[in-house]
Amino acid sequence: MVSIAGSKKLKRQMAPQFWGIARKDKRFIITTRPGPHKKNYAIPSAVFLRDTLKIVSSLREAKASIYAGKVKIDGVVRKSLHHAIGLMDVIELENVPDIYRLVPTEGKILKPIKITDAEKSKKLVRVVTKTTINNGKTQIGFHDGRSTLEEVDAKVGDTCVMQIPDQKVLEIIKLEAGCQGLVTRGVNAGQVGKVESVEEGTFILPKRVILILGDKKIEIPADVIMPIGKEEPVIQLK
């Protein structure tokens, strides 16, 4: 039978820049499998250990660590080399004191930052879908593949502060004028600005946000903005 999950490897030259891998090395590198994050916005767990954090020196060592259950993502042990680690994911490693969160910074889509032990149980998740299912219940889908049937007063584009791994929504941050917005992709990735207004989409143009970054204003698609708080970020992002 043929595989229906896609290829397990990728040519190095085609890998995203933010992986931080050596380009002139072996021809192929492992890639992400279908999962919580889109392929172009995620890092495979083995690549994260070996090339991003550089805490192991080879794929063989990465395999040993992952298969032994020494890697937790959002509080859950993950034993796949290809598990997609993406925006706002929290990574814990056994026998390593540092805890990491992946955030956009310095124009890069994803970069690990060290966070405190008190921060590891909180995560920002952006609402990307809202669907009515059986019995009139509303299912809300988030950017990291999660979904919830919990009664949450959130719209597409809003951000929920979620307790992990319990998946309990603690707070809702609305995408509205006056809130602080984090740019998640593009040349301004990692920059935080104040939302001046939210422009509704038309037949031609998508929904847009007017964002104040220092002494300039930019107009940017709403789907690359993540609300992170009213006056300051509600979780550690630097």
Using one digit for the tens of pLDDT, what is the confidence trace for 146-159? 999 988 889 999 99
| Stretch 204-233: mean pLDDT | 92
pLDDT value of position 98: 96
d(CA 135, CA 149): 12
- 3-class DSSP state of 152: coil
Residues 130 and 110 in one domain: no
The pLDDT tens digits of the residues spanning 53-84 come to 999 999 999 999 999 999 999 999 999 999 99
Residue 236 lies in a domain: no
d(CA 131, CA 141): 8
pLDDT value of position 234: 93
d(CA 122, CA 77): 17
Residues 59 and 18 in one domain: yes
Residues 38 and 107 in one domain: yes
Residue 147 lies in a domain: yes
Structure tokens at 57: 């020196």
CATH number at residue 55: 3.10.290.10
Residue-averaged pLDDT of the chain: 91
pLDDT at 169 over 60: yes
Backbone angle region of 75, left / alpha / beta, with phi > 0 → left and psi within -120 to 50 → alpha: left
Residues 145 and 195 in one domain: no
Residue 86 lies in a domain: yes
Q: Which residue range forms the structural domain that includes residue 133?
A: 122-173
Residues 28 and 73 in one domain: yes
- 3-class DSSP state of 157: coil
Residues 17 and 112 in one domain: yes
| Stretch 120-136: mean pLDDT | 93
**Phi and psi torsions of 48, nearest 5°:** -60, -45
Q: Are 181 and 192 in contact (CB under 8 A)?
A: yes
Structure tokens at 173: 């941050």
Which letter does DSSP use for residue 32 in this model? P
Sign of the alpha-carbon torsion through 61, 67, 68, 73: positive
Residues 160 and 187 in one domain: no
Residues 144 and 189 in one domain: no
Residue 235 lies in a domain: no
pLDDT value of position 52: 92
Residues 154 and 130 in one domain: yes
Tell me the β-bridge partners of 72.
77, 92
Residue 234 lies in a domain: no
CATH number at residue 144: 2.40.50.740
Residue 2 lies in a domain: no
Residues 83 and 147 in one domain: no
d(CA 155, CA 150): 13
Q: Which residue has the higher pLDDT, 138 or 6?
A: 138
Overall number of domains in the chain:
3
Q: Which residue has the higher pLDDT, 134 or 129?
A: 129
pLDDT value of position 199: 92
Residue 15 lies in a domain: yes
pTM of the complete model: 0.90
Residue ending a domain, choose from 77, 98, 117 = 117
Residues 168 and 195 in one domain: no
Provide the edge-to-edge strand list for the sheet that holds 76-77: 76-77, 71-73, 90-93, 99-105, 108-115
Residue 3 lies in a domain: no
- CA of 96: how far to CAs of 55, 74, 101, 147, in Å? 10, 16, 14, 30
pLDDT value of position 3: 54
- What percent of the chain stands above pLDDT 90? 73
Residues 128 and 37 in one domain: no
pLDDT at 1 over 50: no
Q: How many residues does the structure list for the chain? A: 238
d(CA 28, CA 104): 26
Residue ending a domain, choose from 95, 117, 139 = 117
Residue ending a domain, choose from 72, 98, 117 = 117
